Structure 1
């Protein structure tokens, strides 16, 4: 009953079903009355034929005429009994097993009652007839109940079939009506379900029933207020991060100056080095927050009529590998690139592709627990470019692979210099580019394999192809 369609169907069809059940009970009783009336008419007709014949014979016992029993001829093969008695109760003709009727006055009178003959239930008619000589006879005719039950059943089943056909037609009409009536609501539900997570696009109120307008108005109002709140939050984060980055840059310069001062002792230099390392990590977090804010702002204020820039993926990956080569050498990690399709062009800005590649390779190197290797492969996969990064490190447990894309989530809280923002940046960029990222175990179940699928650029829908210059690169942290 959690479905509106189910509720409507239940409260429309259930009362009709109850009414049909009540009507079937009434129909059964009506069928019983009709069958009883038919049987009574047959019994009365048979008794009158016998009575008239006996009156014509002056009350002599010459047997019942065959026409009196032809009325009961049917496929049910009911047994028929008769008895003729005088007014004093003496049996003139027929079966003595018939129970004498209750008191019956003179003249042509009739009465009906139920009885049993040799163990079979019967319905009996007692019909009085006056004779010419002034005498009076009573004719009894009894019939077993098989024909009565069969007629009652036929009448009931005929009505029940009509009810079932009517209920089936009503059910079909109800399904069609519900689908037609609730189609706008189902379409509205599908439209809401197809929206991208985090989308702040307002719903179109055109061509919708009046009943949905308050809901759409409330949702659109909420979207507007949420957009304003998020925009203010993003501006606050971006402004704060810019100010902090400036302050950290000044602090870094002061620490560098202090490290070069000959008057500073070894213990003080060690303290300054620790402060410098903390400052570098803080600067990294600030830069990541700025990247997240810029991605969100680009998503909210995108211009569909403006074609996105195009970037050659292999060139971006090559520049990142060259930049991270010293870091890999320091960690004793071997970097490899297999660009079988080195001409794949993506409809994305170079700095976004660089963020994806840099974060994934940088994580693979820094989380290596000893000498190992990180291999990068670029290939076409249908209408997408597949960027696969496989390392021989400890990998990520299956229970954490979905949550590592959440902001500030760390699979290993004890890992130093990890703030849980790198993979969330990668996921945000993939979503903004309508791509996807998946994680799995590496070769032979060892290490980690990360697959990034990004749509290829469509000819005529992108601006000029850009290659990452030195201004797009950043110093490794």
Structure 2
């Protein structure tokens, strides 16, 4: 199975499919180590017994007569055979082979013997495996006619029945113990995985039981720390969905509330125009219908703009605010000339860059300019000004119109709010759109008086650092 395919399974199956084979592999390695340890332990125990027999035989070697004499301890050999539970062979010989007593054809040691240091080796004797212990020491005195330093070789070999039986019993006992531990470990692991995943099951059941209209956050209580970032991401998504749902609901409520009156007025005006026989009065009624339609279209466009601002994703990029603001201001110069208003632009002393959505920022500035030109009297002045501090950039639209009473500024950016001194038709959505755009960029809309406490100043404040959209 492709390892990536495991991620499509449940967490329980994935963990078990990964951990159980790992435990089995570890168990197999443990059995192999147990077998090797048992073999080494059996060899160590039996080799000590073999060395004891060699030492006992060495104690009965004599060269006092000038030749090599061995007084075999037969009872000792018989006892050793009983202990070894098999056959025992021995050989005593000089290193040069002049004297050879016992089983002369025993396999020689595979390596050169070091005096008084036993050597053990596995060999085959009479077609059966044997364990051979070899030992060498210097004869003192040497045999007659031999130089000093002559050595005697002592070898004792035993068949492996007893060793193998002991090793087999030890291995089987260890394997049985390891298998029991492995089964218990797999059982505990399965139970632990199931218990650890219970919060996820509860979370799944809680989400499935929710209605389609329930957009409350998921409570993080009892959620494992590893899953908590996922829950936080889900809550963040739920919060965005809730905001979009609220924006749609607000739009429907605003549309039903704000368009009912203009549509009713249009119906009345059209009925009056149809009943009016006088062409002049009929034309007057049609002009009123046209004006009402234009206001309704503008109001509808403003509501659509506000809905789009509330729900659309930001396409933020690093912008040269000076260039964008100057370009937008130039587009309003023809409208300012028709109203005989001096529309100017004061750039910042240095290039001002922020991370923002160019289209939304242009929309916000256009709404401020529209309001300023509408409420500034003919012959007045409107100034677009750029300033900045270390952490924020400010786009201000300042006019010398009637302004807004101080006590009403806190609600000036509310939807459909109209100042008490407003003399022109309007939707009351312009500043609401600007505030929504500023907040979407992590900034704010500031409202204040104009120069010398005259007129009105509306400022879009944007942070000079990247913000999440």
TM-score of the alignment, normalized to the shorter chain, above 0.5: no
Task: Give the number of the structure with larger relative contact order, counting CA–CA contacts within 8 Å between residues 6 or more apart.
Answer: 1
Question: TM-score, length-normalised on structure 1?
Answer: 0.41
